[in-house]
Each structure stands twice: as structure tokens, then as C-alpha cells.
Copies of this chain bind each other. A is one copy, B any other.
Amino acid sequence: MSESSIAIPTVYGLRSSGNCYKVQLLLDLLDRPYHWVDTDSSAGATRTPEFLALNPNGKVPLLVLDDERRLAESNAILCYLAEGSSYLPADDWDRARTLQWLFFEQYSHEPYIAVARFVRRWLPEGHERQAEIPRLLERGGNALDVMEDHLGSECYFSGGAFGVADIALYAYTHCAADGGFDLSRWPRVGAWLERVRAQPRFSPMAA
């Protein structure tokens, strides 16, 4: 086995999950080869004994290196893979601001925007969780307001440049309409989505 082939990482993930798509998009932007193991969390594939032995938290994406070291949490995976590239700033303050947006994404954005998409697209009409939609739209709208405010003075979220925080925020923002968000209310966010899509080697999320 050549040195380059053993350095190819493996990603366990579901292509239509935004959290998993983040890892795909970064690896494609880096032009880095990887193995992808389809792991359908919605069909129970992350709750098997085999998968729980890899990630006791039972979630995808999961990164596995050629020497079997494993890393969970999409945004931690982004930072690890982007280290040394232009997608993760080297400057301490720019890196801190990038982390701020990565934590914002997981705490104030994804739990509303991704969950609204899940409830509306994957659960049947009349399911009791449809009752959560108004609150999800309100909280998710707040997150988009905060992004719109930031984009009034900066073009990107990763310490002034395009990088991992943009990749993380793009993952569920670009498909927010699936959850019932009318993105025309946030025009700077719409323009930023276009700037992300214009990056060299950009790859879209699977339908």
C-alpha cells in the first residue's frame, strides 16, 4: 500500500445530513481523497453495537484515520482537517472568532434550522412534533438575523475569510427553505450563500 493511499481518511456519514455534508464539502474543497461509508442514522445504523464501538455517542459524521484513530463532532472534524490550510486561520484572534461561529452554529442555529427541516421533511403530516414548528421558525429566524447583522460588516464568518465556519453555517442555511424559512428575508445571507457556492471545487449536498 502506498503512503498516499494509507493517508486517505474514512468518513462515516449520511450524505443528506448537513452535519455530514460539512465534512464532504471541506474534503472536496481541499481536493483531498476520502472513503465514504454510508451510515443511515435515520435507519438505526448509528445505534448498532458495531457503530457504538466506534462512537459511543452514536452519531455521524465520524472521521476514522488510517491508523484507526477516531474523531466525532462535525465541527471538530472540520478544524482538524483544515489545520494548516487557508480554511482555518492561524492568527489567534481570527481563530477565536471562527470558533465563536462554529459554537453558534451548533447551539443557536442547527438545533432550530436543521430540526425544522427534519420535522417538515421527514415526519408525516399530523405528527405531534409539527407543533414545534412555530418555535423552531422563531429561534432559527433569530440565528439568521445574527448572521445578517454580521454580514453587514464582513463577507465571511471565518476570521474575515472563507473557511470552516462558513462551511458549517452553509450546511443547513442553504437548505433552510426545507424547514419553512423564507430566505428572501435575509438578503445578505442569500448573497453569502452564492459566494460559498462560487468557491473552487465546491460540491453540493446530495438530494
Chain A residues near B (Cβ < 8 Å) = 56-57, 59, 69, 71-77, 79-80, 83, 92-93, 95-97, 99-100, 102-104, 106-108, 110-111, 142, 145-146, 149-150
Q: Is the CB of B76 within 8 A of A83?
A: no
- Which of B76, B83, B95, B104 touches A100 (beta carbons < 8 Å)? B76
> How distant is the Cα of A158 from the Cα of B92 in the complex, in angstroms?
19
Q: Is the CB of B57 within 8 A of A71?
A: no
Q: List 12 A-B contacts (CB under 8 A).
A: A56-B150, A57-B108, A69-B93, A71-B100, A73-B99, A73-B100, A76-B96, A76-B97, A79-B96, A79-B99, A80-B93, A83-B92
> How distant is the Cα of A102 from the Cα of B103 in the complex, in angstroms?
9
Q: Is the CB of A107 within 8 A of B73?
A: yes
- The complex is assembled from copies of this chain, and their number is 2
Complex interface: chain B residues within 8 A of A69 (CB): 93
Q: Is the CB of A57 within 8 A of B103?
A: no
Q: Is the CB of B149 within 8 A of A56?
A: yes
A76 CB to nearest chain B CB (Å): 4
Chain B: CB-nearest residue to A150: B56
Q: Is the CB of A75 within 8 A of B56?
A: no
Chain B: CB-nearest residue to A65: B93
Chain B: CB-nearest residue to A110: B107
A65 CB to nearest chain B CB (Å): 9
A182 CB to nearest chain B CB (Å): 21
Complex interface: chain B residues within 8 A of A149 (CB): 56
Complex interface: chain B residues within 8 A of A99 (CB): 73, 75-76, 79-80
Chain B: CB-nearest residue to A81: B96
Complex interface: chain B residues within 8 A of A77 (CB): 96
